[in-house]
Amino acid sequence: MVTTRRFALIAMTLLALASCSGGTSSVTSTSAANSTDSTADQKGAASSTGSGCAAETEGTNSEGTAASRPFEVEVPASYSEGSPAPLLLLLHGYGADGTSVSEALGMKSQADRLGMLLVHPDGTAGVGCDRFWNATGACCGFGRRVDDVGYLSSVIDEVSSRYSVDPKRVFLIGHSNGGFMSYRLACERADRIAAIVSVAGETLVNAADCTPSEPVSVLQVQGTEDATILYGGGKVQWASEAYPGARQSVAMWAGYDHCTGTISMEAARDLQPQVADAETVPEEFMDCPPGISVQLWTMSGIGHWPWAIRAGTGEPDLLVAAMLEFLMTHPKP
């Protein structure tokens, strides 16, 4: 259980940095449309609030095996050996760590409620202990050679060897850099991934770099006021390539998933009680293959960290609950 003091530290950290970077670093995105710089000053210490880290030399875990970065499996109370359970991987943003983000979102209790095995692994600790996922040229390996597709695939394999995992219900939720990584894994390991939720992280900008072997359900969640990863697309400082916007990301995946219809808007939902009125507008592509869904949830007036932080209330976060509902209703066909 998270203490009030610890939860407050996590909340301040994540709200201050928008969970995309840690230490005293910053990430700057430039909009391709208007070339306006928008910088999020990220001053938190998400890494220090979690399991801690030590700077790792390049190549320490570049081999892409689960043994290179130990992880824990949160097992739901309802788990029974021989009864396959869904598996959820939660991927943190740049500079954060898995434990802190999971605790801030109350993910353990929500996963337990749904009978999900939960893993919140850590990216590689770089200079200054800023943990990162080597996801795409846009974010955020910055030329480093860590095989995170191999690592996360190995994590799935390891958990599946130790527990009864339903192969049709392996899911990812990623925030920011973790969202970019979720897309990367869906591109390269579509045979293992049923559905992903990317929050403020975009897909690969070049369609030639993403050739999923089979459809994967996708939910993109993003705030219109995100100053770190811009809603309309842009480029992160030091990155080798730009990233597409939220709307372009889902349009690309509608193509990958062979959806032939147009995108349709649904009634607005109130998933962030700290913002007045119903701020989230869901849209979904029509005529996708049976069991497959590609959706965009646009959160009006919301920045890089879209969740409500309710220290000590014990109340489930509405957005987390909605994202998990999306995943649980979209197993592999």
Tell me, what CATH number does 48's domain have? 3.40.50.1820
pLDDT of 37 higher than 90: no
Is-contact 117 79, C-beta < 8 A?
A: yes
pTM for this entry: 0.85
Beta strands in the chain (DSSP E): 26-30, 37-41, 73-74, 85-91, 117-119, 124-125, 131-132, 165-175, 195-199, 217-223, 235-236, 263-265, 280-285, 294-299
Is-contact 64 149, C-beta < 8 A?
A: yes
- Which residues, at least 6 apart from 208, have a Cβ–Cβ distance to it below 8 Å? none
pLDDT of 10 higher than 90: no
Of 19-23, 251-255, 279-283, 304-308, the least confident: 19-23
Beta strand 294-299 pairing with 280-285? antiparallel
- In tens, the pLDDT along 162-172 reads 999 999 999 99
* pLDDT recorded at residue 64: 66
Q: Exposed (0-12), middle (13-18) or buried (19+): which is 164, by Cβ within 10 Å?
A: middle
Range of the domain at 115: 4-52+60-328
Task: Report yes or no on 243 lying in a domain.
Answer: yes
Please give the share of the chain, as a percent, with pLDDT higher than 70: 78
Q: How confident is the model at residue 29 (pLDDT cuts 50, 70, 90)?
A: low
pLDDT of 285 higher than 80: yes
Task: Report yes or no on 319 lying in a domain.
Answer: yes
- Which residues, at least 6 apart from 59, have a Cβ–Cβ distance to it below 8 Å? 145
pLDDT of 231 higher than 70: yes
Q: Exposed (0-12), middle (13-18) or buried (19+): which is 193, by Cβ within 10 Å?
A: buried
* pLDDT recorded at residue 36: 26
Task: Report yes or no on 333 lying in a domain.
Answer: no
| CA atoms within 13 Å, Cβ hemisphere of 104 | 29
Q: Is 233 helix (H, G, I), strand (E, B) or coil?
A: coil
Task: Report yes or no on 41 lying in a domain.
Answer: yes
Task: Report yes or no on 10 lying in a domain.
Answer: yes
Of 12-16, 90-94, 271-275, 322-326, the least confident: 12-16
Cα torsion through 80, 112, 200, 322, rounded to 10: 110
Task: Report yes or no on 197 lying in a domain.
Answer: yes
Is-contact 130 46, C-beta < 8 A?
A: no
* pLDDT recorded at residue 127: 73
Helices 4-17 & 98-105 angle (0-180, nearest 10): 100
Task: Report yes or no on 179 lying in a domain.
Answer: yes
Q: How confident is the model at residue 283 (pLDDT cuts 50, 70, 90)?
A: very high
Of 63-72, 133-142, 317-326, the least confident: 63-72
Structural domain tally of the chain? 1
Task: Report yes or no on 225 lying in a domain.
Answer: yes
* pLDDT recorded at residue 316: 76
Average model confidence (pLDDT) across the chain:
83
Q: How far apart are CA 319 and CA 264, in angstroms?
A: 21
**Of residues 236 and 79, which shows the higher confidence score?**
79
Of 32-36, 61-65, 237-241, 295-299, the least confident: 32-36
- In tens, the pLDDT along 125-159 reads 887 788 999 999 999 987 788 999 999 999 999 99
- Answer positive or negative: Cα dihedral of 294, 298, 304, 309: negative
Is-contact 284 259, C-beta < 8 A?
A: no
Q: How far apart are CA 286 and CA 225, in angstroms?
A: 27
- What does R_g of the chain's alpha carbons equal in angstroms? 18
